[in-house]
Structure 1
Amino acid sequence: MRFSSSVGREKSRGAALRRRPGQLVIVGFVGAIAVGTLLLLLPVSAAGEPASFMEALFTATSAVCVTGLIVTDTPVFWSGFGQAVILVLIQLGGLGVMTVASLLGVLVSRRLDLSSRLVAAASTRTVGLGDVRRTLVRVVVIAFVVEAAVALVLTVRFAVAYDERLGLALWHGVFHAVSAYNNAGFALFSLSLMDFVADPWICLPIAAATIIGGLGLPVILELLRERRRPARWSLHTKITLLMTGFLLVGGTGFFLVTEWDNAATMGALDTGGRVLASFTQSVQARTAGFNSLNTGEMHTETWLGTIILMFIGAGSAGTAGGIKVTTFAVLAVVIWSELRGDPDASAFDRRISLATQRQALTLALLAVAMVVLPSLWMTALSPFQVDEILFEVTSAFTTTGLSTGITAQLAWYHQVVLCVLMFVGRLGPITLGTALVLRARGRLYRLPESAPIIG
């Protein structure tokens, strides 16, 4: 009995230690949103009348949670200072507040204590504590390299093709590169990318940054390390790359079919322009949020398909949201295995653990609840249709940022709900739930097994 009590206490202490980093990450994100809100409330942040509290809070939350939903016209309402604040918030949110803080600690002290390593591991999804320092440096280096490359291409294009002053072209290039890599979707053009719908030198670099940022850090690091030995790629990397390619191709084909003759979107474009616009939308619908087509004028069936793409999202441990492609793939494999009567769910000659299957099911069902319940409540208390509300709620929870155009028209309490959804969607339902658990439960026994009738 004494031995069992000792084991129980050790497990409780270990659970508390693992839970603490998640709580600190939440505190970090809340702090960043609070500071961002205060900065955006300053008169110098607005181009005209100072922002209201709701406008500042919503914008700060959307930036830190790398969503892109807006209640004000970013290039018109916010001054250069306000836009710079938004840019910094996007970068902090994309890299992770605690990742940045831990990196600064490494640069200053050249070492991390155990607590700091746990915080950084929770923020970057690092597996081994010994790899945290190296991972933190790689996070920033990869982000800055991709952002710099995309910013260079965009700057040249804005300056040469659109006759922008070099300073303005550079600002536009940097802002959109950072926004794209972090899957934020904030744009310094009132129509987002609609004015560049047929310009591959604008749409493709932004799409490339979006895809890279959405793959997730583990996949990027593994591709760099094992780029010449695909056979050694992990199951996670294989699933992420396969699902990313499948969704990009499938999404492109979907938008081509549903919007081909829509005069309000791509109907006036030539074949090449339609393919480019469809590919851009396919990329951005998976939690990035830029739009080169008028989302509000799309067909209802296109909205439904976009909602599905937003809900799935992109890769784990990256800048994208959604339930993640690996979660979707695991659930698909489980269903296929059950239909075939296989005792194990497997992919690429690897058996998927029961713990992973349970995590995928839990995350998916929590995500469904986080989308359906607010949609029901907001539909009952607003003049908008259920498809419009469902689109906005899904966009907020999956940190996508696409909108049918009703965000700014929603009541303030509905906008608060969207802020909460963006926050939960950025951190992940399981991360948030684990951090808020007051007490971890451990069992030293298992109950007898039984099987209720299914179906």
Structure 2
Amino acid sequence: MRAERVSRLGGVDHRSWLGRLRDGVDAFMKSSPSRFAIVVFAALILLFTLLFSLPIARAGEGSGAPLHDALFTAVSVICVTGLATVDMATYWSPFGHALVYIGVNIGGVGVLTLATTLGFVISRRLGLRAKLMAASDTNPSRIHVGPVAERQAVRLGEVGGLLFTVAVSALVIEGVIAVALMPSMLAAGYDAGHSIWYSLYYSAMAFTNTGFSPNPGGLLPFEHDYWMQTMLMLGVFLGALGFPVIFALARAWRTPRKWSVHVKLTLTTTTILLVAGAAMFLLLEHANPKTYGHLDAGPTIFQSFFMSMMTRSGGFATIDMHDLYGSSQLVSSMLMFIGGGSASTAGGIKVTTLAVLFLAAFAEARGNPSMEAFGRRIPRDMLRLSVSVVLWGATIVAGASIAILQITKAPFENVLFDVISAFATCGLSTGLTAELPPEGVYVMAATMFMGRVGTVTLAAALAASQRRQLFKRPEERPIVG
């Protein structure tokens, strides 16, 4: 017997309101999966804005948080950014901290994966369109050119396994890191209750690449605790790899030859950026008395790697970003703009986007007709997609920077740093974000939303479908360069 009955009397639909709502949502999901995902994400932000506005969410007695602070915190939490306009450790009550913890775990699973799960709950089935929507989070080319022949990290038939891996990997990784953080919390002098809570909180913030701290002072009490910082780096690294990579490694970690090009490109580019970023920070900051100048060689090298990892989207910091030299701030901005892996908790344009652009440049320099990597040919459609992602991301950063500069009249380097941090959902700040007026807060919140939703998803939502043209116009080459 079906849960709802549909009877047609005189052409009138007598289904229950719940059945009509479910069918309507299912039809919208089928017609435009990307737009459905954006609507779900926006609805979550509005819900958490309302919850953060409640007096119970704010520490102390009195009214709730102002609208701009509640909205910004909701966006930062759901978008797993880590930027804040208030002191997160002292401003929110235990209820507010619980909202932060729940929100970052919801936001961390990704826009399209979350929408697929909700669509499954509503429609009570995981149909072909829902599977395509989940697959599009790991294979953006499906949005633009349909199914492709090349091997991808996750194929259509593996989406069920991907969704299972998302839930299990988040639970297992956060749990293991929380257990590993317990000794550091106890050694810092916290009681058992606070140690358990802080360990769970920090592990969630590391894996989701958010960077919030539940304790006053943030990482300052753990400035010389390299075990804790190593665990945070491990959590950020695993979260920034992306669920498709974790899924592939879980199945075939002993046989690298079976890894797809996506997995190999993600791991290779991530490693190169981690080492190169650490080398740059070591070179530029080793003599800076406000950052690493007072440290010995070993701690300086370690902190350089820590900084390189966190600027990729982690958001944790043991130093003040305002104290970095201008050259180091520029390097940090570049690393933040690149971000982490596709379909990960990290933001940015993604490491595979950068890899495709470099592969295209190498192919052009060598005169090769196509891009190749690890014995596979990469189609030219991926180059067009990568260029679109970079241009769209640069446009968002430029527009937001101009608006913040006009509103605050702050130094350009500080504005650019915080805007890129918002777009790439990194969470590092020079201190500018906490001093923004309400209109600037709204601009930064919009930047975080567009960055987390993803440039590919946003572009796909604005362009409902790709138009197929049955004719070709005459070809003519403009002068380039």
Quote the residue 2:22 is aligned against: none
Distance 1:123 1:347, change over 3 A: closer
C-alpha contact 1:181 1:209 (8 A) present in aligned 2: yes
Under a length normalisation based on structure 2, what TM-score does the superposition of the two structures give? 0.86
Quote the residue 2:435 is aligned against: 409
Q: CA RMSD in A?
A: 2.2
Quote the residue 2:55 is aligned against: 43
Moved more, 137-146 or 374-383: 374-383
**What is the alpha-carbon distance in structure 1 between the residues aligned to residue 100 and residue 221 of structure 2?**
22
* One-letter amino acid of the counterpart of residue 71, structure 2: L
1:249-271 Cα distance to aligned partner (Å, 9 max, x none): 11111111111122212222222
C-alpha contact 1:172 1:188 (8 A) present in aligned 2: yes
Quote the residue 2:467 is aligned against: 441
Q: Does 1:222 align with 2:248?
A: yes
C-alpha contact 2:32 2:464 (8 A) present in aligned 1: no
Quote the residue 2:145 is aligned against: none
Q: Does 1:373 align with 2:399?
A: yes
Which consecutive residues of structure 1, in runs of 5 or more, have no partner in the other structure?
A: 1-15
* One-letter amino acid of the counterpart of residue 375, structure 1: S
Distance 1:189 1:263, change over 3 A: farther
Q: Displacement, 1:212? A: 0.5
1:136-186 Cα distance to aligned partner (Å, 9 max, x none): 111100111000000011123201x11211110011000110111011111
Quote the residue 1:153 is aligned against: 180
Quote the residue 2:148 is aligned against: none
C-alpha contact 1:67 1:400 (8 A) present in aligned 2: yes
Q: Displacement, 1:405? A: 0.5
C-alpha contact 1:370 1:421 (8 A) present in aligned 2: yes
* One-letter amino acid of the counterpart of residue 233, structure 1: W
Q: Displacement, 1:46? A: 0.7
**What is the alpha-carbon distance in structure 2 between the residues aligned to residue 109 and residue 436 of structure 1?**
25
Q: Secondary structure at the match of 2:479?
A: coil
Moved more, 222-231 or 352-361: 222-231
Quote the residue 2:420 is aligned against: 394
**What is the alpha-carbon distance in structure 2 between the residues aligned to residue 261 and residue 342 of structure 1?**
44
Q: Secondary structure at the match of 1:441?
A: coil
Distance 1:39 1:434, change over 3 A: same
Q: Secondary structure at the match of 2:478?
A: coil
Distance 1:290 1:128, change over 3 A: same
* One-letter amino acid of the counterpart of residue 452, structure 1: P
C-alpha contact 1:61 1:422 (8 A) present in aligned 2: yes
**What is the alpha-carbon distance in structure 2 between the residues aligned to residue 104 and residue 363 of structure 1?**
27
Quote the residue 2:15 is aligned against: none
Quote the residue 1:264 is aligned against: 290
Q: Secondary structure at the match of 1:55?
A: helix
**What is the alpha-carbon distance in structure 2 between the residues aligned to residue 107 and residue 359 of structure 1?**
32
Quote the residue 2:35 is aligned against: 23
C-alpha contact 1:214 1:315 (8 A) present in aligned 2: yes
Q: Does 1:34 align with 2:60?
A: no
C-alpha contact 1:243 1:329 (8 A) present in aligned 2: yes
1:386-440 Cα distance to aligned partner (Å, 9 max, x none): 1111001100001111100010211211211111111111111221121123565
* One-letter amino acid of the counterpart of residue 72, structure 2: F
Q: Displacement, 1:293? A: 1.5
* One-letter amino acid of the counterpart of residue 219, structure 1: V
Matches within 5 A, 1:266-345: 266-345=292-371
* One-letter amino acid of the counterpart of residue 234, structure 2: A
Q: Displacement, 1:360? A: 0.7
C-alpha contact 1:311 1:322 (8 A) present in aligned 2: yes
C-alpha contact 1:40 1:82 (8 A) present in aligned 2: yes
**What is the alpha-carbon distance in structure 1 between the residues aligned to residue 368 and residue 464 of structure 2?**
39
**What is the alpha-carbon distance in structure 1 between the residues aligned to residue 409 and residue 32 of structure 2?**
42
Q: Does 1:143 align with 2:155?
A: no
Quote the residue 1:6 is aligned against: none
Quote the residue 1:12 is aligned against: none
* One-letter amino acid of the counterpart of residue 131, structure 1: E
1:56-107 Cα distance to aligned partner (Å, 9 max, x none): 1000000100100000001110111101101111000001366356557868
- In percent, how many aligned pairs have the same letter? 39
**What is the alpha-carbon distance in structure 1 between the residues aligned to residue 122 and residue 156 of structure 2?**
19
Q: Displacement, 1:300? A: 0.8
Distance 1:51 1:227, change over 3 A: same
Which consecutive residues of structure 2, in runs of 5 or more, have no partner in the other structure?
A: 1-27, 140-152
Quote the residue 2:13 is aligned against: none
Quote the residue 2:20 is aligned against: none
* One-letter amino acid of the counterpart of residue 21, structure 1: P
C-alpha contact 2:417 2:429 (8 A) present in aligned 1: yes
Q: 1:133 aligns with which of 160, 167, 188?
A: 160
Matches within 5 A, 1:102-251: 102-103=116-117, 111-123=125-137, 128-159=155-186, 161-251=187-277
Q: 2:75 aligns with which of 43, 53, 61?
A: 61
**What is the alpha-carbon distance in structure 2 between the residues aligned to residue 212 and residue 19 of structure 1?**
34
**Residue correspondences, number:** 439
Q: Secondary structure at the match of 1:184?
A: coil
Q: Does 1:80 align with 2:59?
A: no
**What is the alpha-carbon distance in structure 2 between the residues aligned to residue 112 and residue 443 of structure 1?**
32
* One-letter amino acid of the counterpart of residue 298, structure 2: G
1:177-235 Cα distance to aligned partner (Å, 9 max, x none): 01110111111134432332321221011110100010011111111212121112111
**What is the alpha-carbon distance in structure 2 between the residues aligned to residue 379 and residue 336 of structure 1?**
37
Q: Secondary structure at the match of 2:415?
A: helix
Q: Displacement, 1:108? A: 10
Q: Secondary structure at the match of 2:472?
A: coil
Quote the residue 1:52 is aligned against: 66
1:241-287 Cα distance to aligned partner (Å, 9 max, x none): 11111111111111111111222122222222222211111111001
Quote the residue 2:447 is aligned against: 421
* One-letter amino acid of the counterpart of residue 350, structure 2: K
* One-letter amino acid of the counterpart of residue 51, structure 1: A
